[in-house]
Chains A and B, each alone.
Chain A
Amino acid sequence: TYLNDFWEKGRSDGEEQSGEQQQQRASPARPSFGKKQLPSIPKNAVPITKPASPAATAQLANGTHASYGPFYLEYSLLAEFTLVIKQKLPGIYVQPSYKSALMWFGVIFIRHGLYQDGVFKFTVYIPDNYPDGECPRVVFDIPVFHPLVDPVSGELDVRRAFTKWRRNHNHIWQVLMYARTVFYKINTMEPLNPEAAVLYDKDVQLFKSKVVDSVKLCNSHLFDQPKMDDPYAISFSSWNPAIHDEAKERMFSHKRRPEDHQKGLPVSGLSWVKPGSTQPFSKDDNPPLS
């Protein structure tokens, strides 16, 4: 349980950092240079897909889309990711994979209810014609015993909540939110796991014990190697003071860092506008000029 706490704190921290890394990856760091220098090819090449929706292609008649489309997709996903960070969803942590922005690794902590103490790892797959395609898919690493989770593939039935994925209205954080909700509010309609649905409706006690078993099973595999060989895959390890103490220390001190960071930098911006005014030099502490 301490581990869980640690993880939660840790993730929120790591998430920010990895978000940073991820973004930098999108536009690789380079010394100041002239534009025409041939850049090294990014290791995680920007994912591309077949051209986006026909509508979009038609709109961009002269072929610029072919060259820039991947950038649009990448930035759309980055925007989604920043939105997830902003939402601060309780108990949910995600991180785009190193290899592709279309695949996000995640973990969800269930803090109460039937699935209490469950720690479920999952992967989000985003269609490559995003945002004009289907709803993103959520697949648990280990199929949790749940009416809406496929007992074989571990895929959560997300599409029932997002029958039609609408750009600008639907966002990936909503999918994650939904993935969390299913563990608190059980729905047995049109189940992917009929056994779980039936048990829940007919024999809650048995359902509960099956859930406990499933939670135990999932948690027992917590320290397993990530299913995917990806540097950004989420992996758990048991507490190792040599590594984690220091990391924990850093995380706790991280909170203070932004201010310190700012203090070090010279304040580059200027303002003498009094809040609430739109007059230049309206602040009271302006030295008199005459």
Chain B
Amino acid sequence: MVANGNRDGRQGEALVLKGVDPETCMIVFKNHWAQVVKILEKHDPLRSNTSSNMASAVQNYVEHMLFLLMEEDAGQAGAMGPILEFVVMENVMERLFLWSLRRQFTDDMKLEQLKMYEMIVGQARQPLLHHKPVLRPLMMLLSSCSGTAGPEVEAELVSLLNQLCCVLAKDQSVLELFFHTSEDQGAANFLIFSLLIPFIHREGLVGQQARDALLLIMSLSAENQRVAQHIAENTYFCPVLATGLSGLYSSLPTKLEVPGEEWHCLHREDWLQMPTLVQFLNSLEFCNAVIQVAHPSIRDQLVSYIYNGFLVPVLAPALHKLTLEEVMTTTAYLDLFVRSVSEPILLQTFLSFILLHRHENVHILDTLVSRINTPFQLGTVSLALFQTLIGLYCEDVMLQLILRYLIPCNHMMLSQRRVVKERDFYSVSAAKILALTPSCCSPEHSPPPLRQLDSILWSKGTDNSPNTDPSGDHPPPHQEHAQIYLDVNYLHYLYNARLGISSCTRACQVWSAPYDGEDPPPEEYQPSALEEAGARGRQAQTVNPKRSHPHPRPRPPCPPQTTDPAPTNQLELEWDDSYDAGPVVPPEAATAESSRPPQPPAAEPPKHIQEMRRTAIMLVKGSYIEESDFQDDVMVYDLVAKKDARDTVDRRRPSRETLPESDMDSEFTLEEDHFKVSSLQEKDEVPLSNGLSLPPHPTNMEVNSLEVTKGSKEVKAHVADHNSNLQSPLATEVGDDLMDQYEELIRTLGSDEAGTGGSSHVKTVDKEFRNPVVTPMEEDEVDFSSFSVDTPELEKQHSSLFGTKLRSGSTRSHSVPFTGPFVSVLLSRLENMLDNSLHVNLLLTGILAQLAAYPQPLLQSFLLNTNMVFQPSVRSLYQVLASLKNQIEQQASTKKDFPELITSAQHCLLARESSLKGQDTNSGDSRECSPLEAGRMMKSSPPPQPKTISLARTEVFATVLFTEFLKELAAIAQEHSILSHVPMEE
């Protein structure tokens, strides 16, 4: 009530107070305090029941005192005002706190005290927190509120913490004090930070406030080495964040209910309907923000935990689940995550997971690429993921997907290498591409408005040129106007091509090489130069047919390495005992490691594993407590209370009240007491007279009993460990068997944020994890390994199954030129354009257009240069387009109604386009439509409502789309001929 009821009253008093001189205020304050002290001394709540009268009397006095304190101005030159000085000298705040602590320290009282501090911290006219006698009881209060409080107290606690962080952000000088105050209780700590951690993943306002407050501290850490070091080395901030992602992820639906066949990615409207996904994205966004502002040491740690604690152990297995739907869902999630992350370092984490991580010895990337060829929705969703990836303008992505196959220039005839950089001066390629326009779609055949042939009056602009011609053998230029028909629609394609290429070119300025057939030099990346690597590759093939496709992983000309990059080896480690084998080193270090003397294997698992383990346990237990940080604080105050309780006969107790002041003494005593309590605690006989609870018991938890038992054991061991600071580490004894179950643990973490509450759910999830229920009859049960592009014998299988044709060239070896599985799969799907559904074709052509807009000559020449002569085994985009044209012409010649159908389809697509145009303005998710796509003739999304033609006539829609795609490609080729050859500054 102290703070509660008085806000209004205070307003009135403030007016009254104006003009009252400071001396009078001081006298009043002292009087009040004298009254309070009297009551405090007479009525110790532990001896006699304090009457509520007394309590309210104290409250009344305190109220007035606080008000006077708040209204007091600072003295001269920033000195304390007299009231504050008195508060400090007499240790007023601490005595008040201890008094209330000894009463029934209920949630209501906590709430009261929290509000009191929130008020004086927020409204005092002079800095209060600089003074230990004010700060310390605040800290005690905070500790006592941690862990067990009800929702109201939590909300108030977080609100106060948030306020304190704001003060910190403004005035870093307080920071030192925050650390020092804690030091009084032993290890240095940063209580307000630790207290916020359990709220990281909380929903709603409390979580938001906590995350905001933490972000303030994160930006503080960027400037303050000490804060950074503390957070990185002494707190579980990063592991909690990362494992929290895992926990939140496990509560996402494993199967999405997709609105329709054309659905291919999670749009904003989609995920806003899914609270669990919103919550996950909030946490991901928070990670993103932390990485953005925090000190590099924290940033790197967090990134590493996200990789090793979320991506590898959770997302990788999720990407390899057993049903199509589940895998499709995971792929859609991954796509959404990549689109949601903006901070380059976090993006890099996701990308290196996708590009380099190997799950069960297969690169995630290869798996994803191979899934493009699945004829189900998984294929579409996979395409959408790649559209996102390509839209990142990321060199590493493009290198792994395509460029590394093009660098050796083996896909073209040797004589063609000089052509790579050549510019197409006269739009020859564009003309050749447009010449593939099916006759049924040629500009003259379609009436407006479908074909916007526009009559343009143009002048040759030679109006005033001199009519004389010295040689007289060519006709003099004359004024000439002509009406011609142009496909005006094409201007839009040109415009969009220009936008797309410009932004892509600008983005690629940060790339390491131009990829122009000279840099990186093709000679250095020839298979022959990589003989050793090749040999290894073949070896691997015989061992594991899954890996049979030869990735000609080009290597830098530095020291000879193994075929696979060191990072991969590192990153593929699973959550198992292998961690115990040795310290986990960063990828670079791993490479360098070989040159160093071998390090003795670590006796213990790496630190971060230990930490992860602990965190996971604590999460499972339902409430996160960072024992080494503030648990002891909590205990201190708990013990103060209990000690008091036992000391009722001890007349000398008043001196104990101010116990923390005599540091040496108190620490000693407490340590002793602590052990007693620990032993008491084990017997579950701790008399808790003051409402403070001890560190979490497994009482209410019905989680996996095994884990819990272990968990509590662990925690106890840690407590003991902590208390006997320098003694031999007890914790490690408990560790080993636990390690085995770690992976499961992490998975079963559950459902809810920080694992609270959802024990039954956890069980369910766990069960699913262990025994994925797959009915053999389920139609979508497919062995994904069969979709691997590079498994020839399986190819036949699924081509017969699903009608997709794969390149015969996939039984390739190092000597056979190969442009990579991604290009191969894309072209395969494109080849089936006439059978593909409209939305698949939209995605496919979108991706190819996106690729074509890249300015790198290797890519440009491969995709757009129709004059290039490729090796016979290499299929080019132009070849595929040409074969499509033939297929279309054949259709057109055999089907009488083809022209009418084309017209209907065009109308239908036009209607769809204009309906989408209206929607465009509403959807704010800009990354969901790339600049290239933005102007495409037709866009994907809701199903069109054809009036006269069924979407099942895929060949008709494909024909229309094909024609538009030709224009899109031609426009890109034309813009390249002028844009890619002008230095960017110009």
Chain A residues engaging chain B, CB cutoff 8 angstroms: 16, 19, 23, 26-30, 32-39, 41-42, 44-49, 56, 59-68, 70-72, 75-76, 78-80, 82-83, 85-86, 97, 99-103, 123, 125, 128, 131, 134, 139, 150, 152-155, 157, 159, 167-168, 171, 192, 227-230, 258, 262, 265, 267-282, 284, 286-290
Q: Which residue of A lies closest to B985 (CB)?
A: A258
Chain B residues engaging chain A, CB cutoff 8 angstroms: 296, 299-300, 303-304, 307-308, 344-345, 347-349, 351-352, 355-356, 392-397, 399-400, 403-404, 407, 423, 425-427, 430-431, 434-435, 437, 439, 442-444, 449, 452-454, 456-466, 468-471, 474, 477, 482, 484-495, 498, 503, 506-513, 520, 525, 553-556, 565, 567, 570-571, 573, 584-589, 910, 913-914, 916-917, 920, 934-938, 964, 970, 974, 977-978, 981-986
Contact status A36-B394, CB under 8 Å: no
The smallest beta-carbon distance between B264 and chain A, in angstroms, is 20
Q: Which residue of A lies closest to B557 (CB)?
A: A276
CA gap between A276 and B567 in the complex, in Å: 18
Contact status B585-A47, CB under 8 Å: no
CA gap between A102 and B442 in the complex, in Å: 28
- Taking a contact as CB atoms closer than 8 A, the residue among A27, A48, A288 that contacts B586 in the complex is A288
In the bound complex, residues from chain B placing their C-beta under 8 Å from that of A59 are 431, 435
Contact status A38-B495, CB under 8 Å: no
27 contacts between A and B (CB under 8 A): A28-B491, A30-B495, A33-B935, A35-B489, A35-B935, A36-B489, A41-B488, A47-B460, A47-B461, A60-B434, A66-B444, A67-B486, A86-B981, A86-B983, A99-B461, A100-B459, A155-B469, A228-B463, A270-B392, A270-B393, A271-B396, A273-B396, A274-B556, A277-B556, A281-B351, A289-B308, A290-B304
The smallest beta-carbon distance between A33 and chain B, in angstroms, is 7
In the bound complex, residues from chain A placing their C-beta under 8 Å from that of B345 are 287
The smallest beta-carbon distance between A108 and chain B, in angstroms, is 18
- Taking a contact as CB atoms closer than 8 A, the residue among B300, B453, B474 that contacts A288 in the complex is B300
**Beyond A75-B978, A76-B427, A269-B393, is A45–B459 a contact (Cβ under 8 Å)?**
yes
Q: A30-B495, A270-B392, A287-B345 are in contact. List 7 more A-B contacts (CB 8 A).
A: A26-B494, A35-B935, A42-B456, A71-B427, A75-B430, A228-B464, A280-B352
Q: Which residue of A lies closest to B565 (CB)?
A: A279
Contact status A290-B344, CB under 8 Å: no
- Taking a contact as CB atoms closer than 8 A, the residue among B555, B588, B964 that contacts A278 in the complex is B555
Contact status B437-A62, CB under 8 Å: yes
The smallest beta-carbon distance between A5 and chain B, in angstroms, is 21
CA gap between A114 and B59 in the complex, in Å: 104
In the bound complex, residues from chain A placing their C-beta under 8 Å from that of B430 are 68, 71-72, 75
Contact status A60-B587, CB under 8 Å: no
In the bound complex, residues from chain A placing their C-beta under 8 Å from that of B304 are 287-290
Contact status A272-B464, CB under 8 Å: no
In the bound complex, residues from chain B placing their C-beta under 8 Å from that of A289 are 303-304, 307-308, 349, 352, 567, 570-571, 586-587
CA gap between A289 and B936 in the complex, in Å: 39
The smallest beta-carbon distance between A233 and chain B, in angstroms, is 10
Contact status A39-B492, CB under 8 Å: yes
In the bound complex, residues from chain B placing their C-beta under 8 Å from that of A279 are 553, 555-556, 565
Contact status A134-B474, CB under 8 Å: yes
CA gap between A122 and B759 in the complex, in Å: 86
The smallest beta-carbon distance between B795 and chain A, in angstroms, is 27
**Beyond A47-B460, A280-B355, is A23–B978 a contact (Cβ under 8 Å)?**
yes
Contact status B456-A227, CB under 8 Å: no
**Beyond A63-B442, A280-B355, A280-B356, is A290–B308 a contact (Cβ under 8 Å)?**
yes
In the bound complex, residues from chain B placing their C-beta under 8 Å from that of A280 are 351-352, 355-356, 395-397, 399-400
The smallest beta-carbon distance between B424 and chain A, in angstroms, is 8
In the bound complex, residues from chain B placing their C-beta under 8 Å from that of A70 are 484, 486
CA gap between A44 and B351 in the complex, in Å: 47
Contact status A64-B443, CB under 8 Å: yes
CA gap between A272 and B565 in the complex, in Å: 15
- Taking a contact as CB atoms closer than 8 A, the residue among A46, A101, A229, A270 that contacts B394 in the complex is A270
Contact status B986-A139, CB under 8 Å: no
Q: Which residue of B lies closest to A56 (CB)?
A: B431
Contact status A27-B981, CB under 8 Å: no
The smallest beta-carbon distance between B953 and chain A, in angstroms, is 21
**Beyond A79-B978, A159-B471, is A28–B435 a contact (Cβ under 8 Å)?**
no
Contact status A290-B460, CB under 8 Å: no
Contact status B461-A284, CB under 8 Å: no
In the bound complex, residues from chain B placing their C-beta under 8 Å from that of A282 are 556
Contact status B308-A270, CB under 8 Å: no
Contact status B986-A19, CB under 8 Å: yes
Of A56, A131, A272, the most chain B CB neighbours within 10 A belong to A272
Q: Which residue of B lies closest to A96 (CB)?
A: B461
Contact status A100-B461, CB under 8 Å: yes
Contact status B459-A286, CB under 8 Å: no
CA gap between A85 and B978 in the complex, in Å: 11
The smallest beta-carbon distance between B495 and chain A, in angstroms, is 4
Contact status A273-B307, CB under 8 Å: no
In the bound complex, residues from chain B placing their C-beta under 8 Å from that of A278 are 399, 403-404, 407, 520, 525, 554-556
CA gap between A76 and B403 in the complex, in Å: 29
Contact status B300-A287, CB under 8 Å: yes
- Taking a contact as CB atoms closer than 8 A, the residue among A33, A66, A102 that contacts B460 in the complex is A102
CA gap between A131 and B555 in the complex, in Å: 44
Contact status B508-A32, CB under 8 Å: no
In the bound complex, residues from chain A placing their C-beta under 8 Å from that of B553 are 279
Q: Which residue of B lies closest to A150 (CB)?
A: B470
The smallest beta-carbon distance between B718 and chain A, in angstroms, is 24
Contact status A97-B489, CB under 8 Å: no
Contact status A67-B453, CB under 8 Å: yes
Contact status A60-B978, CB under 8 Å: no
Task: List 6 tightest A-B contacts by C-beta distance, closest first.
Answer: A100-B461, A288-B586, A45-B458, A269-B507, A280-B396, A99-B461
Contact status B512-A273, CB under 8 Å: yes
**Beyond A79-B425, A269-B395, is A36–B914 a contact (Cβ under 8 Å)?**
yes
Contact status A290-B470, CB under 8 Å: no
Contact status B585-A290, CB under 8 Å: yes
In the bound complex, residues from chain A placing their C-beta under 8 Å from that of B465 are 103, 123, 125, 139
CA gap between A150 and B503 in the complex, in Å: 48
**Beyond A100-B461, A280-B399, is A168–B425 a contact (Cβ under 8 Å)?**
yes
Contact status B468-A270, CB under 8 Å: no
Contact status B584-A286, CB under 8 Å: no
**Beyond A27-B495, A269-B511, A277-B512, is A79–B981 a contact (Cβ under 8 Å)?**
yes
- Taking a contact as CB atoms closer than 8 A, the residue among A33, A134, A152, A270 that contacts B510 in the complex is A270
CA gap between A227 and B839 in the complex, in Å: 56
The smallest beta-carbon distance between B613 and chain A, in angstroms, is 16
**Beyond A61-B435, A79-B425, is A34–B937 a contact (Cβ under 8 Å)?**
yes
The smallest beta-carbon distance between B97 and chain A, in angstroms, is 43
The smallest beta-carbon distance between A79 and chain B, in angstroms, is 5
**Beyond A27-B495, A32-B935, is A139–B587 a contact (Cβ under 8 Å)?**
no
Q: Which residue of B lies closest to A270 (CB)?
A: B394
In the bound complex, residues from chain A placing their C-beta under 8 Å from that of B920 are 32
In the bound complex, residues from chain A placing their C-beta under 8 Å from that of B982 are 82, 85-86
Contact status B913-A34, CB under 8 Å: yes
In the bound complex, residues from chain B placing their C-beta under 8 Å from that of A284 are 588
In the bound complex, residues from chain B placing their C-beta under 8 Å from that of A30 are 492, 495
CA gap between A21 and B471 in the complex, in Å: 35
In the bound complex, residues from chain A placing their C-beta under 8 Å from that of B494 are 26-27, 71
Contact status B556-A276, CB under 8 Å: yes
Q: Which residue of A lies closest to B311 (CB)?
A: A289
The smallest beta-carbon distance between A267 and chain B, in angstroms, is 6
- Taking a contact as CB atoms closer than 8 A, the residue among A62, A230, A270 that contacts B435 in the complex is A62
Contact status B454-A35, CB under 8 Å: no
Contact status A290-B490, CB under 8 Å: no
The smallest beta-carbon distance between B577 and chain A, in angstroms, is 16
In the bound complex, residues from chain A placing their C-beta under 8 Å from that of B554 are 278
Q: Which residue of A lies closest to B307 (CB)?
A: A289
**Beyond A33-B492, A67-B486, is A167–B435 a contact (Cβ under 8 Å)?**
no
The smallest beta-carbon distance between A167 and chain B, in angstroms, is 6
